[in-house]
């Protein structure tokens, strides 16, 4: 039971075919993969072996030709496109080699983009994006345009964007491929922290040195797994993040207590004590969000003025 609960991705006999007849080729061939919550998987292999294809299928950006794929126990191929988009927005964060930030949008709006499916108001989306940027110490650059940032900063913005919706899985396709070694290290340390918080990360890389960050290293060859080595036992993986999505149960004290103890100070402290006893959410963002409700977001006008003043600060 517990093993099944810890499985977040289950892929069986997956094929991805391109072309027909003489032009037919398989990017993935009879591919099997089971991913546990809390794994940090690095996928390596020669160019063209199917790494990006695999990541795109896992991330519901692409569809397999045949085979089965269960994401959090849901059979992906039987879900409508609309539901897939929702599932993707809720569960998956993407980081790409070329950052993929929208050049015409300021940093904060780029980071808020994945929340479009969340049903939150624009103000709330911006507050959540701002909170996430704070975590990466990029809040001072909220109203910079992407081109005003270094490559490393752009990738950290992209990481913030991938995390803004509190996804369970982060998919990263050569996230350090365009970065110098110092920025690479910073990005990898960020990913390590994100993993330590219990997120599942699947990352493609050509750099064998980075595999030290992984709990499992998969080498692909011609559309299949060539070698698959776990460096950390399943039992030692960081705790799953799924509890982030469960609201802690706060037991409301019996109304009786209030009426019977007129002068009682203890009744006042009771709800707090109950709250403290409730399970805590490991990630800050939700509690932070509540707190931020009282903080007034910047108005459109003030945003614009910040943007223009910062432009000159590059
Ligand atoms: N849209 C497409 N049409 C036809 N063939 C494709 C398409 N996309 C990918 N392929 C083929 O699928 C195979 C796997 O491509 P994929 O991009 O997954 O490789 P990769 O392992 O990510 O390579 P790299 O390390 O260079 O990024 C390649 O042979 C590629 O030519
Ligand atoms: Mg690729």
CATH number at residue 229: 3.40.50.300
227 domain residue, yes or no: yes
Atom 18 (ligand 1) nearest CA: 50
Cα–ligand 1 centroid distance for 214 (angstroms): 24
Cα–ligand 1 centroid distance for 166 (angstroms): 29
What's residue 314's pLDDT? 32
150 domain residue, yes or no: yes
Per the structure, the count of domains in the chain is 1
26 domain residue, yes or no: no
CA dist., res. 140 & res. 135, Å (int): 11
- Pocket of ligand 1 contains residue 210 by CB under 6 Å: no
Q: Name which of 34, 162, 41 is nearest 93 in CA terms.
A: 162
Q: Name which of 89, 243, 62 is nearest 167 in CA terms.
A: 89
The parts of the chain modelled with pLDDT lower than 50 are 1-3, 242-314
- Pocket of ligand 1 contains residue 313 by CB under 6 Å: no
Token pair 């609201």: residue: 247
Q: Which ligand is nearest to the CA of 54?
A: 1
Cα–ligand 1 centroid distance for 100 (angstroms): 19
What's residue 89's pLDDT? 85
What's residue 286's pLDDT? 38
pLDDT for 104-136, tens place per residue?
999 999 999 999 877 889 999 999 999 999 988
Cα–ligand 1 centroid distance for 313 (angstroms): 41
Atom 29 (ligand 1) nearest CA: 48
Instruction: Tell me the CA distances in angstroms from 266 to 257, 271, 272, one per residue in order.
Output: 10, 9, 10
- Pocket of ligand 1 contains residue 49 by CB under 6 Å: yes
260 domain residue, yes or no: no
205 domain residue, yes or no: yes
170 domain residue, yes or no: yes
Spacing of C-alpha 121 from chain mean position: 21
CA dist., res. 181 & res. 186, Å (int): 9
What's residue 234's pLDDT? 87
- Pocket of ligand 1 contains residue 18 by CB under 6 Å: yes
Cα–ligand 1 centroid distance for 312 (angstroms): 41
In terms of residue numbers, what domain contains 50?
Answer: 37-61+80-241+282-311
CA dist., res. 98 & res. 179, Å (int): 10
CA dist., res. 165 & res. 161, Å (int): 8
- Pocket of ligand 1 contains residue 28 by CB under 6 Å: no
Test site for ligand 1: of 49, 59, 207, most ligand atoms within 8 A of the Cβ: 49
CA dist., res. 293 & res. 288, Å (int): 9
247 domain residue, yes or no: no
- Pocket of ligand 1 contains residue 42 by CB under 6 Å: no
Atom 2 (ligand 1) nearest CA: 18
Q: Which ligand is nearest to the CA of 19?
A: 1
266 domain residue, yes or no: no
- Pocket of ligand 1 contains residue 27 by CB under 6 Å: yes
């Amino acid at each position: 039971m517990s093993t099944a609960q810890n499985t977040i991705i289950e892929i069986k006999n997956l094929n991805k075919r391109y072309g027909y007849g003489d032009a037919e080729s398989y990017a993935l061939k009879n591919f099997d993969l089971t991913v546990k919550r809390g794994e940090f998987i690095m996928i390596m292999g020669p160019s063209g072996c199917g790494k990006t294809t695999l990541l795109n299928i896992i991330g519901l950006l692409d569809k397999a030709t045949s085979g089965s794929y269960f994401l959090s126990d849901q059979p992906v191929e039987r879900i409508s496109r609309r539901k897939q988009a929702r599932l993707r927005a809720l569960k998956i964060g993407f980081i790409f080699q070329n950052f993929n930030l929208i050049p015409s949008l300021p940093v904060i709006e780029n980071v808020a983009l994945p929340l479009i499916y969340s049903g939150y108001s624009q103000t709330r989306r911006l507050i959540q994006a701002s909170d996430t940027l704070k975590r990466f110490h990029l809040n001072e650059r909220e109203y910079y345009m992407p081109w005003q940032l270094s490559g490393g900063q752009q990738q950290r913005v992209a990481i913030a964007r991938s995390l803004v919706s509190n996804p369970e899985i982060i998919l990263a396709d050569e996230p350090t491929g365009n970065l110098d070694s110092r920025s690479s290290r910073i990005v990898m340390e960020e990913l390590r922290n994100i993993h330590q918080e219990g997120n599942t990360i699947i990352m493609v890389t050509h750099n064998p040195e980075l595999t030290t960050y992984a709990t499992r290293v998969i080498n692909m060859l011609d559309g299949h797994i060539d070698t698959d080595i776990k460096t950390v036992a399943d039992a030692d993986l960081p705790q799953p993040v799924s509890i982030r999505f469960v609201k802690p149960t706060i037991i409301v004290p019996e109304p009786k207590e209030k009426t019977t103890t007129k002068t009682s100070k203890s009744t006042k402290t009771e709800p707090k004590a109950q709250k403290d006893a409730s399970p805590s959410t490991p990630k800050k963002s939700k509690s932070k969000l509540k707190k931020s409700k009282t903080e007034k977001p910047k108005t459109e006008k003030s945003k614009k003025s910040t943007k223009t003043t910062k432009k000159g600060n590059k």
